[in-house]
């Protein structure tokens, strides 16, 4: 049962929770574990309240020494009445492990049979492990002990006090919210270090031990560099004792900011060759989660309507600190190319919402707001704020905010007050248009016949807000050496009006150059070039020396195609002309990913083969031009594998024949090749089973599930569909991988019967799974490649149901809107 904001406010007014003392016994085989919890809290005498609690069975339940009847438990809640001023609740219960990445998740490694556990109580899952006041503004100290098999190790938020013969005891934490309590347990491999008085540790499954040992130096280096930079920025040092980082299997998020024990999905311990952009992304995630130690953990939002105080700040600071402190200096290029595009897509969906909504009704709605708006749009908005108030004032305001609310909770108004005091600016008007109102503006350059320049601003009719923007406009021209360089740059204050005249730009009447609006990517908006600049993009884009400028141009081009303003045929022509010369790997990867998705949905059945062939030619040229063994070569090879229909060439690569010099056909690349061969009907179950025998790992198991779902025959599709909608024994990751392999544009005839089945059967799937696992499965299983009015008609029928699951409603609503755009583009 979701917790409403009203219920949370009422409970917080009645109760002040002080401590959770938790003992878990995970030694028994099977799908349950023992939980013994003591909760100490004060309350308004005589009041009644409840805790979240979802036990399998309860053997003992007392409040202040008196037995509480079993009838007090219903619908995931434990009701208590006649509270004293000071209370102690003691509960001994049997709880159930999860396979959805929520509660206490249990995983069996196919590589060696080892069992691993991690605790993920995010948003409203604490009741799956212990009775809890599960809301962010009821912080308490958490003291954990664990009885585990003697061969296991255990790590938790608190520092280790003792362990002997399978008994592990950890120190009480500082006050934290319930969703931030975690542990990691199993026969894991550990690497330790320390920095500036802070103990450091890395944990991973035993099957990945050798890979962690190879990568530990890089991981520790990034961690130490980020710690140093945050200590330079913030007056309060890292506030939670040790800094451990665990890499866990089947983790729902990329990572989670548990104080003292950050948990990442263990795909971030690489077992095969990766590109430099993937290493940059990992460093960015490390910096992002570390930012949460202050934004989210030290100072926590009071309720989920201020989620942006966690995620927008971590997104902004993670990108910034990774660029400033580590060797990965190009993170803002990645942000412009990748993260901001995520925000723009989410902001234009029917489910759009403000960065800081006025109200979030309950925890179900809160889960849905973990999207590109709360992360990327909020971060872009903060980048704009820093450009406006200045960096020193921004940092002074943050430090004042931390000092005022350390180990407590805060709101939007609390932060704005601190920033306003530090900067001397009234931020209420800025917050009203940037944080409290949804959707995005479009900015266009307009050049007059006399060479004058103006920026035109528009907004969607249903969200008519115009905003002030601080940005830069660059003039690019080709020099005698052939390179295209910035000849001039002006800063501009764009008013919250439809037209702003720009001064300070020279030679604009010369049509040979390119005028780049939002050069430096300082503001959050959809960018459109003037006609002359747009016409110059194909010839000038590959020669521009600034990777961030190229990212802004590529992002604008892709966005115009998404909106149907440019045809997909024009995009693939640009890809063929410009991408083989691109040196920034993240641009290569993101352009290929986005282009492939647009070709699959925007090109018709008649035009798709030719468009895909142009993409394959572009990747082939890029592959030939890339240095052997480098990141660009790997990105090009992946792109070629995904686009080509030359099955003989792919089969040769699997056999080790004709492989480009320096390209390692390692385990992950083998799976990618096999997956493409399966989609094209050139491999099947026998080849998948043989590859899984070769690679009996967690990653191999997931790839095998995806490949089996992609096999183009009726039996394989039937089995895959049953796994998606019925099989509760499958873990979150295996179901998601199955769904991701199911829909293929090459197999539309075979898949036609499953379009109506999606809309008929997905509501029942949502009752079998929960939370993020259900949301991801519903999205991945959506028939997005069946671009047809009938798909939209079926979506409308489903959305008309009054009591449709809110998570499924949002998924279908947004993906149906994408379908609308695809149909418009085709017509």
Q: Which residues of 580-602 are buried (b: 16+ CB within 10 A; e: fewer)?
A: bebebbbbbbbbbebbbebbbbb
Q: What is the 3-state secondary structure (H, E, C) of 167-183?
A: EEEECCCCCECHHHCCE
433 burial via Cβ count (<10 Å: 0-12, 13-18, 19+):
middle
67 burial via Cβ count (<10 Å: 0-12, 13-18, 19+):
exposed
Catalytic residues: 289
Which run of H or of E encompasses 272?
A: none
Compute the distance between CA of residue 94 and CA of residue 32 in angstroms, rounded to an integer: 7
Compute the distance between CA of residue 441 and CA of residue 315 in angstroms, rounded to an integer: 21
- Dihedrals φ, ψ of 749, to 5°? -60, -45
Question: Do residues 89 and 39 lie in contact, with contact meaning Cβ atoms separated by under 8 Å?
Answer: yes
- Dihedrals φ, ψ of 640, to 5°? -65, -45
Compute the distance between CA of residue 336 and CA of residue 164 in angstroms, rounded to an integer: 50
Compute the distance between CA of residue 183 and CA of residue 258 in angstroms, rounded to an integer: 9
The SS3 call for residue 73 is: strand
Compute the distance between CA of residue 630 and CA of residue 532 in angstroms, rounded to an integer: 36
Compute the distance between CA of residue 259 and CA of residue 296 in angstroms, rounded to an integer: 9
Compute the distance between CA of residue 738 and CA of residue 752 in angstroms, rounded to an integer: 18
Compute the distance between CA of residue 117 and CA of residue 254 in angstroms, rounded to an integer: 17
Compute the distance between CA of residue 253 and CA of residue 264 in angstroms, rounded to an integer: 8
Q: Which residues of 384-413 are buried (b: 16+ CB within 10 A; e: fewer)?
A: bbbbbbeeebbbbbbbbbbeebeeebbbbe
Question: Do residues 17 and 66 lie in contact, with contact meaning Cβ atoms separated by under 8 Å?
Answer: no
Q: Write down the H helix ranges in 407-519.
A: 412-423, 428-434
User: Quick count: other Cβ atoms within 10 Å of Cβ 164?
Assistant: 8
């Amino acid at each position: 049962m979701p917790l409403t904001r009203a219920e949370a406010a009422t409970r917080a007014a009645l109760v002040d929770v002080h401590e959770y003392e938790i003992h878990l016994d995970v030694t028994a085989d099977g799908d349950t574990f023992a939980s013994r919890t003591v909760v100490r809290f004060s309350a308004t005498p005589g009041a009644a309240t409840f805790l979240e609690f979802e036990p399998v069975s309860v053997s003992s339940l007392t409040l202040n020494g008196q037995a509480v009847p079993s009838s007090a438990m219903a619908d995931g809640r434990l009701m208590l009445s006649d509270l004293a001023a000071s209370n102690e609740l003691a509960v001994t219960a049997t709880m159930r492990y999860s396979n959805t990445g929520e509660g206490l998740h249990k995983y069996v490694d196919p590589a060696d049979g080892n069992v691993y556990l991690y605790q993920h109580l995010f948003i409203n899952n604490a009741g799956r492990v212990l009775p809890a006041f599960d809301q962010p503004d009821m912080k308490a100290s958490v003291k954990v002990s664990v009885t585990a098999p003697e061969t296991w190790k255990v790590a938790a938020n608190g520092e280790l006090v003792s362990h002997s013969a399978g008994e592990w005891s950890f120190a009480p934490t500082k006050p934290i919210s319930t969703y931030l309590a975690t542990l990691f347990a199993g026969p894991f491999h550990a690497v330790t270090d320390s920095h500036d008085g802070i103990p450091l540790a890395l944990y991973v499954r035993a099957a990945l031990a050798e890979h962690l040992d190879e990568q530990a130096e890089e991981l520790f280096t990034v961690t130490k560099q980020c710690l140093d930079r945050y200590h330079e920025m913030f007056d309060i040092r890292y506030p939670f004792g040790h800094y451990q980082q665990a890499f866990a299997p089947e983790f729902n998020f990329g990572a989670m900011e548990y104080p003292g024990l950050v948990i990442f999905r263990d795909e971030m311990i690489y077992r095969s060759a990766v590109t430099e952009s993937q290493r940059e992304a990992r460093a960015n995630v490390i910096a992002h989660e570390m930012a949460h130690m202050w934004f989210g953990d030290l100072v926590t939002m009071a309720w989920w309507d201020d989620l942006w105080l966690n995620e927008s700040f971590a997104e902004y600071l993670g990108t910034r600190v990774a660029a400033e402190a580590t060797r990965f200096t190009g993170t803002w290029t990645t942000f412009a190319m990748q993260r901001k595009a995520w925000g723009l897509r989410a902001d234009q969906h029917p489910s759009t919402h403000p960065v800081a909504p006025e109200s979030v009704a309950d925890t179900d709605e809160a889960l849905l707001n973990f999207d590109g708006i709360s992360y990327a749009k909020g971060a872009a908005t903060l980048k704009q704020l820093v450009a406006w108030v200045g960096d020193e004032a921004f940092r002074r305001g943050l430090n004042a905010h931390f000092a005022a609310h350390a180990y407590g909770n805060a709101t939007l108004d609390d932060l704005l007050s601190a920033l306003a005091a530090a900067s001397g600016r009234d931020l209420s008007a800025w917050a009203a248009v940037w944080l409290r109102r949804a959707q995005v503006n479009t900015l266009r350059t307009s050049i007059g016949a006399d060479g004058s320049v103006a920026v035109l601003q528009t907004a969607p009719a249903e969200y008519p807000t115009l905003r002030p923007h601080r940005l830069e406009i660059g003039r690019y021209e080709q020099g005698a050496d052939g390179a295209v360089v910035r000849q001039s740059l002006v800063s501009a204050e764009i008013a919250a009006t439809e037209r702003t005249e720009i001064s300070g730009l020279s030679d604009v009447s010369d049509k040979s150059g390119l005028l780049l609006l939002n050069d430096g990517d300082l503001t959050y908006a959809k960018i459109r070039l003037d006609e002359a600049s747009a016409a110059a993009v194909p010839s000038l884009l590959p020669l521009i020396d600034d990777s961030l400028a190229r990212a802004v141009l590529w992002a604008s081009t892709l966005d115009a195609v998404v909106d149907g303003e440019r045809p997909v045929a024009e995009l693939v022509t640009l890809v063929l002309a410009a991408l083989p010369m691109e040196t920034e790997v993240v641009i290569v990867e993101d352009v290929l990913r986005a282009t492939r998705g647009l070709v699959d949905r925007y090109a018709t059945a008649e035009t798709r083969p030719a468009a895909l062939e142009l993409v394959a030619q572009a990747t082939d040229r890029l592959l030939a031009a890339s240095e052997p063994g480098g990141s660009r070569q790997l990105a090009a090879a992946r792109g070629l594998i995904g686009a080509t229909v030359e099955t003989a060439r792919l089969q040769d690569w699997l056999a080790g024949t004709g492989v480009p010099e320096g390209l390692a056909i390692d385990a992950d690349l083998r799976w990618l090749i096999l997956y493409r061969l399966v989609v094209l009907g050139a491999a099947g179950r026998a080849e998948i089973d043989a590859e899984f025998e070769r690679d009996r790992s967690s990653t191999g198991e997931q790839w095998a599930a995806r490949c089996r779902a992609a096999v183009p025959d009726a039996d394989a599709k039937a089995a895959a569909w049953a796994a998606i909608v019925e099989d509760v024994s499958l873990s979150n990751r295996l179901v998601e991988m199955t769904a991701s392999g199911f829909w293929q544009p090459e197999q539309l005839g075979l898949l036609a019967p499953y379009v109506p089945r999606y809309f008929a059967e997905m509501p029942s799937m949502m009752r079998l799974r929960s939370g993020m696992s259900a949301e991801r499965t519903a999205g991945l299983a959506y028939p997005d490649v069946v671009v047809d009015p009938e798909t939209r008609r079926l979506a409308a029928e489903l959305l008309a149901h009054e009591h449709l699951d809110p998570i499924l409603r949002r998924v279908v609503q947004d993906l149906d809107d994408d379908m609308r755009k695809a149909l418009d583009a085709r017509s």
